[in-house]
Amino acid sequence: MTEALSFTDIVRLIEQDIPFNRLLGLEVEAFTGDAVQVGFDAREDLIGNYALRVLHGGVISATLDLVGGLTALAAILGEMETQTPEALGERFARFGTIDLRVDYLRPGAGERFTATGVPLRVGRRVAVTRMELTNEQETLIAVGTGTYITG
């Protein structure tokens, strides 16, 4: 049996190895088979509406998409424990978004944002997840549903 991917490995991959995630400043806060949580701070370069000083919709959707994919990965990680590191890398490289729906409920105002995801259904090749984005006051800003190819 090979060594499973650790929380530290996942955090390094998501936060440091993927340039777009570094650009957004995403930080993995929780990663389990039941739920994933990612946070980030508001910054000037993430603003989409200058007059209202709120997040760009693309930042919101990209964050929810990442959380949905991570949620799918977390849900199937247990079945991947016996795979070699090379096989894990190949499977992870095949992960991708099939469909993403985002409902913007209110403007993305705040100083700190948290996105959470939970699995709705996880099959052998496809996973469906539900995601939410809130601010530091726990105001619900957007929700999403994502469908992901998992291998």
81-126 pLDDT per residue, tens: 667 767 777 777 788 999 999 999 999 999 999 999 999 999 989 9
| 76 domain-assigned | yes
Residue 56: count of CB within 10 angstroms of its CB: 14
| 1 domain-assigned | no
Residue 2 confidence (pLDDT) = 43
5 and 76 Cβ atoms separated by less than 8 Å = no
pTM: 0.89
| 59 domain-assigned | yes
User: Strand order in 36-41's β-sheet?
Assistant: 27-31, 36-41, 112-122, 126-135, 140-149, 96-104
- The range of the structural domain enclosing residue 137 comes to 7-149
| 2 domain-assigned | no
